[in-house]
Copies of this chain bind each other. A is one copy, B any other.
Amino acid sequence: MDEIITLDYGSGGLRTAGLIDSMLVPALRNEALEALGDGAVVPFSGDQLVFSTDSFVVTPWKFPGGDIGKLAVCGTVNDLCMAGGDPKYLSLSLIIEEGFALEDLRTVIDSVAKTARLAGVQVVTGDTKVVERGKGDCIYINTAGVGTLRTPGLSRSAIREGDAVLLSGSAGCHGTAVLMARGEIPCEGTLLSDCAPLRALSAAALDAGRVRILRDPTRGGVATTLNEFVEGGSLTIDLEEDAIPVDPPVAAACELLGIDPLYAACEGRMLAIVAPESADAVLAAMRAVPGGEGAARIGRVGSARPGQVVLHTALGGSRILGKLTGMQLPRIC
């Protein structure tokens, strides 16, 4: 380990995982935390409760297709859904930099309110802090959320050889939209973040068949999330490059930016590993939900290369997709 925190530690890739595994989990040790899901599933009053949190530090705070308020609601709602939960309540905590315009704050809060209504959750508690100029960056938001457990047993350990790998829409829209919004590259303006609540989509998938695990590929993108499914185990994820949906504006932007869309964050996409006999039904159910029209079967679970994600090209080649190692896209969420 280095002696100081670098931006890599916030990438959602290898460094982040290293910090979690070497420092946070050992210090705070408990069963729920060690499961390292998007949300914790814990006993509560004789029932099960799903609990999750995320802080959002995206820059710029407003981007095509959303803003930090929308993102902060979707992020936590989606974590709860991916853990098999039915989101109920959110907390909202603001760290505002001195000088942020009240009008902009109103935009963010309206966005929180609108997205919460859309996602069917109530913001029931909150906190507001203000830091001096130069000690923040416009606004940071934390949300935490609780929900009931809709579907128990979603877990890495449920994945079996032969399972299908489904993705609900184009990879990489959010990450590339935010990078374009930074003005680093001239933008044609057709590229929107996919930021959206996954409540209806995940419920449809869970109701349609045997789902092993769900995850929204945020920081580190599709490639990193799939690695988390198989790392350290005996299974492989085999992806068909041609089957992976990447919207043309995303592909074009990624080419300009020199990044791989499979490592760019999504904030409204869902990866599902599904039992083979359920794959068609779950895929059809996902496609029937607004936001899931572009869902595709992008690969299957094999065992040829234990613990790895392998991308197979149309020409018969293949390459291993590792986890994101560095800081490809800082402060994307």
Contact of A148 among B11, B44, B128 (CB under 8 A): B44
Question: Does A103 make an interface contact (CB < 8 A)?
Answer: yes
Contact A33 B96 (CB under 8 A): no
Residues of chain B with a CB closer than 8 A to A55's CB: 93-95, 127, 129, 142
Question: Does A92 make an interface contact (CB < 8 A)?
Answer: yes
Q: How far is the CB of A32 from chain B (nearest CB, A)?
A: 4
Copies of this chain in the oligomer: 2
Q: Do A33 and B146 contact each other (CB < 8 Å), given the known contacts A93-B55, A137-B131? A: no
Question: Does A281 make an interface contact (CB < 8 A)?
Answer: no
- Complex: how many Å from CA A259 to CA B62? 40
Contact A27 B113 (CB under 8 A): yes
Contact of A32 among B122, B132, B134 (CB under 8 A): B122
Residues of chain B with a CB closer than 8 A to A321's CB: none
Q: How far is the CB of A274 from chain B (nearest CB, A)?
A: 25
- Complex: how many Å from CA A127 to CA B45? 26
Question: Does A233 make an interface contact (CB < 8 A)?
Answer: no
Question: Does A314 make an interface contact (CB < 8 A)?
Answer: no
Residues of chain B with a CB closer than 8 A to A130's CB: 5-11, 330
- Complex: how many Å from CA A101 to CA B6? 9
Q: Which of A40, A98, A130, A134 has the most CB of B within 10 A?
A: A130
Stretch at the interface among A16-24, A183-191, A203-211, A260-268: A16-24
Contact B103 A3 (CB under 8 A): yes
- Complex: how many Å from CA A78 to CA B330? 34
Contact B95 A95 (CB under 8 A): yes
Contact B102 A30 (CB under 8 A): no
Question: Does A63 make an interface contact (CB < 8 A)?
Answer: no
Cβ contacts A to B, 16 pairs, < 8 Å: A3-B103, A5-B102, A7-B132, A8-B130, A23-B109, A27-B112, A28-B113, A30-B122, A32-B122, A44-B146, A53-B142, A55-B94, A56-B129, A57-B131, A95-B95, A131-B137
Q: A-B pairs with the 6 shortest C-beta distances?
A: A10-B130, A144-B144, A53-B91, A40-B124, A142-B142, A32-B124
A interface residues, Cβ below 8 angstroms from B: 1-11, 16, 19-20, 23-24, 27-28, 30, 32-33, 39-40, 42, 44-47, 49, 51-57, 88-89, 91-103, 105-106, 109-110, 112-113, 116, 122-132, 134-137, 140, 142, 144, 146, 148, 330-331
